[in-house]
Structure 1
Amino acid sequence: MSQSITQYKDAHTVIYGSTSLDRLVTEEQAGHAAAWEATRKLKESRQPTDAQSLPYTLEALARQQAERLVIDLGLDHLDTEQVKRHAAAAAARIAPEFATT
Protein backbone atom coordinates (compact mmCIF):
# COMPACT_ATOMS: atom_id res chain seq x y z
CA MET A 1 0.00 0.00 0.00
CA SER A 2 1.53 3.30 -1.07
CA GLN A 3 1.99 6.29 1.22
CA SER A 4 -0.87 8.23 -0.38
CA ILE A 5 -3.24 5.27 -0.05
CA THR A 6 -2.30 4.95 3.62
CA GLN A 7 -3.41 8.53 4.28
CA TYR A 8 -6.88 7.71 2.92
CA LYS A 9 -7.16 4.62 5.08
CA ASP A 10 -5.95 6.57 8.13
CA ALA A 11 -8.53 9.32 7.53
CA HIS A 12 -11.20 6.63 7.22
CA THR A 13 -10.16 5.11 10.55
CA VAL A 14 -10.28 8.48 12.29
CA ILE A 15 -13.63 9.57 10.88
CA TYR A 16 -15.58 6.33 10.63
CA GLY A 17 -14.01 4.75 13.70
CA SER A 18 -14.53 7.65 16.07
CA THR A 19 -17.43 7.89 18.47
CA SER A 20 -17.17 11.65 18.68
CA LEU A 21 -15.90 13.93 15.95
CA ASP A 22 -14.85 17.45 16.60
CA ARG A 23 -14.75 20.51 14.43
CA LEU A 24 -11.08 19.89 13.62
CA VAL A 25 -12.01 17.49 10.81
CA THR A 26 -11.16 19.14 7.50
CA GLU A 27 -12.83 18.85 4.12
CA GLU A 28 -9.73 17.07 2.85
CA GLN A 29 -9.79 14.46 5.63
CA ALA A 30 -13.52 13.88 5.15
CA GLY A 31 -13.00 13.50 1.39
CA HIS A 32 -10.19 11.02 1.89
CA ALA A 33 -12.31 9.01 4.31
CA ALA A 34 -15.27 9.03 1.92
CA ALA A 35 -13.09 7.83 -0.96
CA TRP A 36 -11.72 4.98 1.14
CA GLU A 37 -15.24 4.02 2.26
CA ALA A 38 -16.43 4.03 -1.36
CA THR A 39 -13.50 1.79 -2.28
CA ARG A 40 -14.24 -0.55 0.60
CA LYS A 41 -17.91 -0.81 -0.37
CA LEU A 42 -17.07 -1.42 -4.03
CA LYS A 43 -14.70 -4.24 -3.03
CA GLU A 44 -17.30 -5.77 -0.74
CA SER A 45 -19.92 -5.67 -3.49
CA ARG A 46 -17.73 -7.86 -5.71
CA GLN A 47 -19.33 -6.22 -8.73
CA PRO A 48 -17.25 -6.63 -11.85
CA THR A 49 -15.74 -3.33 -12.90
CA ASP A 50 -13.61 -3.03 -15.99
CA ALA A 51 -10.39 -1.06 -15.84
CA GLN A 52 -11.68 1.67 -18.16
CA SER A 53 -14.78 2.53 -16.14
CA LEU A 54 -13.27 1.94 -12.70
CA PRO A 55 -11.98 5.51 -12.14
CA TYR A 56 -15.36 7.01 -13.08
CA THR A 57 -17.30 4.49 -10.99
CA LEU A 58 -15.08 5.01 -7.97
CA GLU A 59 -15.21 8.81 -8.28
CA ALA A 60 -19.01 8.78 -8.49
CA LEU A 61 -19.26 6.47 -5.49
CA ALA A 62 -16.81 8.64 -3.54
CA ARG A 63 -18.85 11.80 -4.22
CA GLN A 64 -21.99 10.01 -3.10
CA GLN A 65 -20.26 8.71 0.02
CA ALA A 66 -18.92 12.20 0.79
CA GLU A 67 -22.41 13.65 0.82
CA ARG A 68 -23.65 10.79 2.98
CA LEU A 69 -20.73 11.22 5.39
CA VAL A 70 -21.40 14.93 5.92
CA ILE A 71 -25.07 14.29 6.62
CA ASP A 72 -24.83 11.06 8.62
CA LEU A 73 -21.96 12.13 10.84
CA GLY A 74 -23.23 15.67 11.39
CA LEU A 75 -20.28 17.35 9.72
CA ASP A 76 -22.47 20.17 8.47
CA HIS A 77 -19.78 22.72 9.35
CA LEU A 78 -17.83 21.42 6.34
CA ASP A 79 -18.29 22.63 2.78
CA THR A 80 -19.96 19.61 1.18
CA GLU A 81 -18.82 20.52 -2.33
CA GLN A 82 -15.20 20.70 -1.19
CA VAL A 83 -15.54 17.35 0.55
CA LYS A 84 -16.90 15.88 -2.70
CA ARG A 85 -14.01 17.34 -4.71
CA HIS A 86 -11.45 15.89 -2.30
CA ALA A 87 -13.25 12.54 -2.38
CA ALA A 88 -13.26 12.42 -6.19
CA ALA A 89 -9.57 13.36 -6.36
CA ALA A 90 -8.65 10.72 -3.80
CA ALA A 91 -10.73 8.12 -5.64
CA ALA A 92 -8.86 8.93 -8.85
CA ARG A 93 -5.57 8.24 -7.05
CA ILE A 94 -6.91 5.05 -5.44
CA ALA A 95 -8.36 3.57 -8.67
CA PRO A 96 -5.05 2.37 -10.23
CA GLU A 97 -4.10 0.49 -7.05
CA PHE A 98 -7.64 -0.85 -6.66
CA ALA A 99 -7.48 -2.25 -10.18
CA THR A 100 -4.38 -4.27 -9.33
CA THR A 101 -5.85 -5.95 -6.24
Structure 2
Amino acid sequence: MGVEQAYIDLLDSNLELRIKLTKEETITIRNKEKIRKLTNDLERCELYIKYLEKNLISRENEIDRLKAEYYSTLYNLKKCQDHLELKEEALVAQDN
Protein backbone atom coordinates (compact mmCIF):
# COMPACT_ATOMS: atom_id res chain seq x y z
CA MET A 1 0.00 0.00 0.00
CA GLY A 2 2.94 2.34 0.50
CA VAL A 3 3.87 2.03 -3.18
CA GLU A 4 0.33 2.84 -4.27
CA GLN A 5 0.28 5.95 -2.06
CA ALA A 6 3.66 7.02 -3.44
CA TYR A 7 2.33 6.55 -6.96
CA ILE A 8 -0.82 8.57 -6.16
CA ASP A 9 1.33 11.29 -4.58
CA LEU A 10 3.50 11.29 -7.70
CA LEU A 11 0.43 11.61 -9.92
CA ASP A 12 -0.91 14.47 -7.76
CA SER A 13 2.45 16.20 -7.90
CA ASN A 14 2.59 15.69 -11.66
CA LEU A 15 -0.93 17.18 -12.01
CA GLU A 16 -0.01 20.20 -9.86
CA LEU A 17 3.12 20.78 -11.92
CA ARG A 18 1.12 20.55 -15.15
CA ILE A 19 -1.39 23.09 -13.80
CA LYS A 20 1.49 25.43 -12.82
CA LEU A 21 3.09 24.95 -16.23
CA THR A 22 -0.19 25.77 -17.98
CA LYS A 23 -0.56 28.94 -15.89
CA GLU A 24 3.03 29.95 -16.64
CA GLU A 25 2.54 29.29 -20.35
CA THR A 26 -0.60 31.44 -20.27
CA ILE A 27 1.30 34.23 -18.50
CA THR A 28 4.15 33.90 -21.00
CA ILE A 29 1.72 34.21 -23.92
CA ARG A 30 0.14 37.32 -22.36
CA ASN A 31 3.55 38.84 -21.71
CA LYS A 32 4.67 38.15 -25.28
CA GLU A 33 1.51 39.86 -26.53
CA LYS A 34 2.19 42.85 -24.27
CA ILE A 35 5.79 43.00 -25.51
CA ARG A 36 4.60 42.86 -29.13
CA LYS A 37 2.11 45.67 -28.47
CA LEU A 38 4.71 47.78 -26.70
CA THR A 39 7.18 47.17 -29.51
CA ASN A 40 4.59 48.35 -32.04
CA ASP A 41 3.82 51.40 -29.90
CA LEU A 42 7.53 52.17 -29.68
CA GLU A 43 7.92 51.92 -33.46
CA ARG A 44 4.94 54.24 -33.99
CA CYS A 45 6.35 56.71 -31.47
CA GLU A 46 9.75 56.65 -33.18
CA LEU A 47 8.10 57.35 -36.54
CA TYR A 48 6.11 60.20 -35.02
CA ILE A 49 9.28 61.65 -33.47
CA LYS A 50 10.99 61.54 -36.87
CA TYR A 51 7.97 63.30 -38.40
CA LEU A 52 8.10 65.96 -35.69
CA GLU A 53 11.85 66.44 -36.19
CA LYS A 54 11.33 67.03 -39.92
CA ASN A 55 8.45 69.38 -39.15
CA LEU A 56 10.59 71.27 -36.63
CA ILE A 57 13.44 71.65 -39.13
CA SER A 58 10.96 72.93 -41.69
CA ARG A 59 9.60 75.44 -39.17
CA GLU A 60 13.11 76.55 -38.22
CA ASN A 61 13.89 77.17 -41.89
CA GLU A 62 10.68 79.16 -42.23
CA ILE A 63 11.56 81.18 -39.11
CA ASP A 64 15.03 81.93 -40.52
CA ARG A 65 13.48 83.02 -43.82
CA LEU A 66 10.96 85.24 -42.05
CA LYS A 67 13.70 86.78 -39.90
CA ALA A 68 15.70 87.61 -43.02
CA GLU A 69 12.58 89.09 -44.62
CA TYR A 70 11.87 91.09 -41.46
CA TYR A 71 15.39 92.54 -41.31
CA SER A 72 15.26 93.37 -45.02
CA THR A 73 11.92 95.13 -44.58
CA LEU A 74 13.22 96.93 -41.50
CA TYR A 75 16.27 98.09 -43.46
CA ASN A 76 14.08 99.32 -46.35
CA LEU A 77 11.79 101.09 -43.89
CA LYS A 78 14.78 102.86 -42.33
CA LYS A 79 15.96 103.91 -45.78
CA CYS A 80 12.48 105.25 -46.58
CA GLN A 81 12.37 107.16 -43.28
CA ASP A 82 15.78 108.69 -44.00
CA HIS A 83 14.68 109.57 -47.52
CA LEU A 84 11.45 111.08 -46.17
CA GLU A 85 13.39 113.19 -43.66
CA LEU A 86 15.65 114.47 -46.44
CA LYS A 87 12.61 115.36 -48.56
CA GLU A 88 11.01 117.16 -45.61
CA GLU A 89 14.23 119.11 -45.01
CA ALA A 90 14.37 119.95 -48.71
CA LEU A 91 10.73 121.14 -48.68
CA VAL A 92 11.36 123.25 -45.57
CA ALA A 93 14.47 124.73 -47.19
CA GLN A 94 12.55 125.34 -50.40
CA ASP A 95 9.74 127.08 -48.49
CA ASN A 96 12.26 129.36 -46.81
TM class, shorter-chain normalised? under 0.3
Higher relative contact order (CA 8 A, sep 6+): 1
What TM-score does the superposition give when structure 2 sets the normalisation length? 0.24
Structure in which a larger fraction of residues adopt helix? 2
Larger radius of gyration: 2
What TM-score does the superposition give when structure 1 sets the normalisation length? 0.23
